[in-house]
Structures are given as C-alpha cells and as structure tokens.
C-alpha cells in the first residue's frame, strides 16, 4: 500500500499543516495518534462503520467514548432508505439522547441509498432533502450530506433546516478544481463548511489540498485563486 491513508501518521501530519478546523477519526486512531497534535484542530470521533449493503453495520463508539478521548464532538455516519433505515435512525437517536449528559455535540453523516440496481449511495436533491430531514428529526447538532450539484435546490434544503449543514467531500472528482468548485457552490448556497476525506488525504499533496479548501471556505477565494494560493 502506498499513498492516501497507507501511512496514517504522515497523512495526519500533512493534513494538519493545511490548518483544517477539525479532524474526524475513529477512537482507535485518535488513541494512537492524536496526543502530539492536540489543540491543532478540533477532534471529532467517528462512531460508526457501515457499507451501503449492510455487510458491515456497527456502532463502534458512544458519546462517553468521545468524552474520554477529549474530543469536541462525536460523528455518527449512517445510510438511509432501505429496510435497515430504522436501525440507523435509532443509532442517531440513541447517540443524541446519550450525548445530553455530557453536552457532547453529535455530527450526523447521512447517505441516502438507492436500490434500483443493487444498492448505491445517491446525491439527488430529493434524497439529500430526505437525509437532512432524518437529521432534523433525530435532533443532531450538525448534518453532513452530499452536495446534489444543484445550487438552487440545495439552498432550499439549507434554508428549511434549523441545524447547520456541511457538505461531504464525496468521491474523488475528475480534477481537484472540480471538488473546489462544488465546495464554493455549496458555500454560496448556505453550507457552513465541508467534511473532506480522500480529496485531501488522497491527494499527492495533502497539506496544499487542505490549504486550498481552507481558502475557499474561510477566505471566500475562488477555486482558481485557492489553487494558486496553495501552489497547486
């Protein structure tokens, strides 16, 4: 294995050099790697592990586990739609209820599924709206969903949601600029930020990729300006 997350310590170091606001990781990774980086960014513990077809479906951490790690929030990733939707919504509801004792925010990563041909994650405006509604109904503090590619539709979704929405980094785009374009479009439509995975740690230069996202999200730079500033 080479690149990406093959070397977790190095991937984390390079990502943090781009000054992200938060870093999301499992409790096991945080236990082994986070101490030397504490206070460089907010720590969010990812509680869930699933595959769209439910071959893997486990809730690995609870709010108390995030508290013990000194984390700032707990993330719970779930798929919705399909026969197992109720179980995943219970994951969220249980996490929200348990979090109240510790005042631990819950960040929901919600992915709608389509069963037309097999099972896959989809990003249509209608399904993203359903994912957001699931986050609202379960009472989470922040909702992460995929960007549907339709700025007007996404703005309607954001405007109707009482909780902050951030977009998912999604699968790797054809170009890194494409990923920044989507982020800028989502921010203009009301997103509060982006939770980015492989488009940062999967890039050839995670530090510069992280810095480019920072420039678009916090400085309002255009994708081309952000690429230039990050020297990409």
The pLDDT of residue 171 is 66
Hey, which bits of the chain come out as E strands? 22-25, 42-46, 48-50, 57-59, 73-80, 106-114, 120-121, 142-145, 165-168, 194-195
Homologous superfamily (CATH) of 9-229 is Aldolase class I (3.20.20.70)
- Residue pair 167/195 in contact (Cβ under 8 Å)? The answer is yes
Q: Which residues contact 212 (CB under 8 A, 6 or more apart)?
A: 18, 176, 180, 226, 227, 229, 230, 232
Kindly list the domain boundaries of the chain, sorted by start residue: 9-229
The model's confidence at residue 6, banded by pLDDT at 50, 70 and 90, is confident
The pLDDT of residue 173 is 75
Check 31, 87, 120, 144 and give the catalytic one.
144
Query: Which range (28-37, 89-98, 166-175) has the least confidence?
Result: 166-175
31 as an active site residue: the answer is: no
Phi-psi region of 65 (alpha: psi -120 to 50; beta: other; left: phi over 0): alpha
pLDDT at residue 214 is higher than 80: yes
- The tens digit of pLDDT for each residue in 86-97 reads 999 999 999 999
């Amino acid at each position: 294995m080479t690149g990406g997350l093959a070397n977790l310590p190095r991937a984390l170091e390079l990502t943090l050099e781009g000054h992200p606001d938060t870093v999301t990781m499992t409790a096991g990774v945080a236990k082994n790697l986070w101490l030397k980086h504490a206070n460089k960014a907010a720590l969010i513990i990812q509680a869930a592990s699933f595959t769209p077809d439910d071959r893997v479906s486990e809730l690995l951490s609870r709010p108390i586990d995030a508290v013990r790690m000194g984390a700032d929030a707990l993330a719970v990733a779930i798929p919705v739609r399909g026969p197992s939707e109720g179980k995943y919504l219970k994951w969220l509801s249980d996490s929200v209820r348990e979090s109240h004792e510790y005042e631990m925010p819950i960040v929901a990563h919600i992915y709608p599924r389509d069963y037309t041909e097999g099972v896959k994650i989809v990003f249509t405006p209608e399904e993203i709206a359903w994912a957001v509604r699931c986050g609202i109904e379960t009472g989470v503090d922040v909702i992460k969903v995929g960007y549907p590619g339709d700025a007007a539709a996404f703005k309607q979704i954001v405007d109707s949601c009482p909780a902050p929405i951030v977009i998912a980094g999604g699968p790797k785009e054809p170009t890194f600029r494409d990923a920044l374009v989507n982020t800028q479009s989502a921010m203009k439509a009301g997103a509060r930020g982006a939770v980015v995975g492989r488009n940062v740690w999967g890039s050839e230069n995670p530090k510069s990729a992280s810095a480019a996202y920072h420039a678009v999200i916090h400085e309002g730079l255009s994708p081309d300006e952000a690429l230039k500033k990050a020297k990409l």
